[in-house]
Structure 1
Amino acid sequence: MDETPKEIKVVSVNRNTLSKQVVESIIQLLNSGQLKPGDKLPTEMEFMEKLNVSRPVLREALSSLESLGVITRKTREGTFFNNKISSHPFSIMLSLAHDNLQAMVEARMALELGLITIAAEKISDEELKRLKQTIDVIANSKDNDYGEADIEFHRIIALSANNPIVEGMVDSLIVTLVKINDEIKVREPERTVQHHTAIYKALEKRDPFEAFHQMFLHLDYVRHKVTKNHNL
């Protein structure tokens, strides 16, 4: 009988995986009802002992949760779940998928394509004016430094929908915009201005069908650009 030990393959657990597991464990404190929005989280030492992870891994997870608006860390007071989490469930979903860029891009498309059709009916003249200003900033930008104006363009459209139910989603949408914006290495201001102007004109005409079409063309372009850079 051959008693030679069989060769087995074990998938190693990398730091990113550990960090995500910590994020999921912390979110579970909310899902299970052990803690509520506004409650104080255990200390770092308590987390390290209960989860059996190092301080760098724990802090990486906490940083992800903080950047997504799930927690707030206060000097000398501790770490707290934000009060608005209960109305912002999309933030939690993003925190669980913070390392899945493709999922973020697709989530952004789903949200913005829905919001743009509502915005076409509700956007005010003042908001249209502010939209035009962001386009001018991008057109006149130096060194392709127009990320904030780009994000503001999309923020104005999302908020112009003026719907309290999706308000929490809008906050989370901005998080995805920042994340995706950071991943774009090659800027093309002319193309961005072209896309934004087409969206602006559709909104100015209060045409939800054309606004949807132009926003899809823009987001599809961004999706292919980002996924191509990451071989997704």
Structure 2
Amino acid sequence: MAKQAAMNQISRVTRPRLYEQLVEQIMDFIESAQLGPGDTLPAERELAERLGVSRATLAQALVALEVLGVIDVQHGTGAVLVYRPNVPSVIKGLREHRSRLPEIAEARSTLEVKLAELAADRRTDADMKAIEKALDAMAEEVASGARGAHGDELFHQAVTAAAHSAVLAQLMTFIAGMILETRIESLGQPGRPEESLASHRKIANAIRAKDAEGAAAAMLEHIAMVSDVALLK
């Protein structure tokens, strides 16, 4: 009885997740097609048909590979291979990424909520212009069908600068790489770019009004939203 329970537990632990299986299939396809850095993967519809999965399922797996830097998904071009790692290293990277997501969200909610609060208290007219410029940049990206990742990054940088806190800015720089992982993953969710832009506008409005409490609350709500990601289970 105890032996059977132990075997069941081992089976549950070692069984690959669906997204891991699909990532492995994509890597096998890259290998068989002899694609190298700079080569473009087939269009999502074609690749989904070849792999026998839905486009929505494939899109999530491609986001996972983009998070790891294996591919670069460019609007209008498609998924471009950046480098060709071995499958075990990719799976290991994905598992490590999943395990640190909650801690990244904790760090962001701690640092960025305070930054938004300080920005509302300390922002200058020049700071406000930088925030609005970032909003415009993201809006243009999203309107063109892109995910708005660059504008998203500019917005959070502008809010950080508006807080005029050198130490908090240094801490944000320290975790920038980890935030990039969550930015790619979050903006890869259907409808998320538009939701994120609307959330940014709410934060900006509070900062413009010098409403520190409102800016902090809006940023906390924003971090909770962008941290809600759905990589394949």
TM-score by length of 1: 0.53
State how 1:19-34 maps to structure 2 within 5 Å: none
**Matched residue type, 1:138:** M
Q: What is the RMSD computed on CA atoms of the aligned residues?
A: 2.8
User: Deviations 1:129-172 (Å, cap 9, x if unpaired)?
Assistant: 11111212222222224101101101111122222222320202
**Matched residue type, 2:110:** A
**Offset, 1:120:** 0.9
Contact between 2:122 and 2:162, CA under 8 Å: does it hold in 1?
yes
* 2:143 is the alignment partner of 1:172: no
Describe the shift of the 1:197–1:215 C-alpha distance in structure 2 as closer, same or farther (beyond 3 A). same
Aligned match of 1:203: 207
User: Deviations 1:3-24 (Å, cap 9, x if unpaired)?
Assistant: xxx9998999xxxxxxxxxxxx
- Structure 1: 5+ residue stretches without partners: 1-5, 13-62, 65-96
Report the Cα distance in structure 2 between the residues aligned to 1:221 and 1:168, rounded to whole angstroms: 24
State how 1:1-232 maps to structure 2 within 5 Å: 100-141=100-141, 142-184=144-186, 185=188, 186-224=190-228, 226=229, 228-229=230-231
Larger Rg belongs to: 1
Instruction: Give the SS at the match of 2:127.
Output: helix
The percentage of aligned residue pairs carrying the same residue is: 23
Structure with more relative contact order (C-alpha pairs < 8 Å, separation 6 or more): 2
Report the Cα distance in structure 1 between the residues aligned to 2:208 and 2:115, rounded to whole angstroms: 15
More helix as a share of residues: 2
**Offset, 1:230:** 5.5
Contact between 2:147 and 2:193, CA under 8 Å: does it hold in 1?
no
- Structure 2: 5+ residue stretches without partners: 15-67, 70-95
User: Deviations 1:30-74 (Å, cap 9, x if unpaired)?
Assistant: xxxxxxxxxxxxxxxxxxxxxxxxxxxxxxxxx99xxxxxxxxxx
TM-score by length of 2: 0.53
Contact between 2:116 and 2:219, CA under 8 Å: does it hold in 1?
yes
Describe the shift of the 1:125–1:173 C-alpha distance in structure 2 as closer, same or farther (beyond 3 A). farther
Report the Cα distance in structure 1 between the residues aligned to 2:133 and 2:112, rounded to whole angstroms: 20
User: Deviations 1:101-136 (Å, cap 9, x if unpaired)?
Assistant: 221122111111111111111112112111111212
Contact between 1:159 and 1:170, CA under 8 Å: does it hold in 2?
no
**Matched residue type, 2:102:** Q
